[in-house]
Amino acid sequence: MNEIILGIVQGFAEFLPISSSGHLVVFSNILNAGQNVSFFAVLHLATFLAVLLFVFSDVVYLLKGLFTLDKRVLPLIGKLLLSTIPAVLTAFFLNDFINEAFSSVKLVGGLFLVTALFMFFSDFFRTNKKSLDKITWIDALMIGIFQAIAILPGISRSGATLFAALFLGVKREDAVRYSFLMSLPVTFGAGVMELSKISITPAQIFGALAAFIAGLAGLFLVKKLVLKGHLKIFGIYCVIISIITLVFIS
C-alpha cells in the first residue's frame, strides 16, 4: 500500500511545481517507509512515460527533424540537450551529497520555501513573447542550470525550469512545452541509473502504475494553471508543506 501512496505522490508532484523528491522524502517519513532511492528511480521511469505520452507529438516532430536534418529543428534539439548537461554533471559529481540530502527532512523543509519563491515570482512575468524557436543558447543553459539546482529534494524541477523560462521571456505555453521536453532525458536517466540495483516487486509495479496515471493528471493540471497565471497557488502550498515539515516532521 505504501508503494501505491508514494506512486500517487510522485506522479502528481513530479509535474506540479511542488517538488516530487521533497514529497517522497516527507511521505516516506510519515509512512515509515525509509528512503528507498532505488524505488524512487522506478517511479521516475513511470513519470517519464507519462510526460513522453503528453508531449508525444513534439517528440515525433523533433525526431523527424533530426533524421531529415531539418535546419529549423536541429537548433532546438541542440538547446534541449544543452539544457540537460548541468543536471547530468551535477548528478555525476555530487551523487553522494544528493543522496545525503534525501535523508535530511529539515533541509527538504527549507528548500520547499525556495520553490515557493519561484512560484510567487513567476506570476509577475506577464509580458512574455519569446516562442520556442526563439529560445537562445544562453537561455537554454540558464534553464538547464535551474534544472540542476532542482536535483535537491524540496526544489521543484518543473517549478525551477518554468520560473527560469518565464523570467527569460518565454511564452507561457512554450515554457511548459520546453520544461516538459527537457525533463525527458533527466527523468529517464534518474530511473536507469538506479534500476540495476533493485528487484522489482508486484507492489512496486502497482506503485509505478499509480505514478503514471497521477503524472498524466498532474501534467494537464499544471499546464492549465500556468497558462492562467495561477502559479502562486503552488507557492502558498509549498509554504504550508514547508511549515508542516519543519515543525512536525523534522
The mean of the pLDDT values for the chain is: 86
- pLDDT tens digit string along 54-80? 899 999 999 999 999 998 899 999 999
Highest mean pLDDT among 94-103, 141-150, 228-237: 141-150
pLDDT for res 36? 64
Highest mean pLDDT among 98-107, 190-199, 208-217: 208-217
Residue the block writes with cell 521516475: 44
CB neighbour class for 34 (10 Å; exposed up to 12, middle 13-18, buried from 19): exposed
For the chain, give the percent of residues with pLDDT over 70: 93
Instruction: Assign 195 a pLDDT band (cuts: 50, 70, 90).
Output: low
Query: pTM for the full model?
Result: 0.85
Mean pLDDT of 195-208: 74
pLDDT for res 35? 58
Q: Is the pLDDT of residue 240 over 90?
A: yes
- pLDDT tens digit string along 115-167? 999 999 998 887 788 999 899 999 999 999 999 999 888 999 999 999 999 99
- pLDDT tens digit string along 15-26? 888 888 788 788
pLDDT for res 80? 95
Alpha helices for 31-156 (secondary structure H)? 37-54, 56-67, 74-93, 95-101, 105-122, 137-149
pLDDT for res 34? 61
Size (the chain), residues: 250
pLDDT for res 196? 60
CA distance 210 to 217: 11
pLDDT for res 197? 60
Q: Is the pLDDT of residue 235 over 80?
A: yes
Q: Is the pLDDT of residue 192 over 70?
A: no
Burial per residue of 21-32, b for 16 or more beta-carbon CB atoms within 10 angstroms, e otherwise? bbbbbbbbbeee
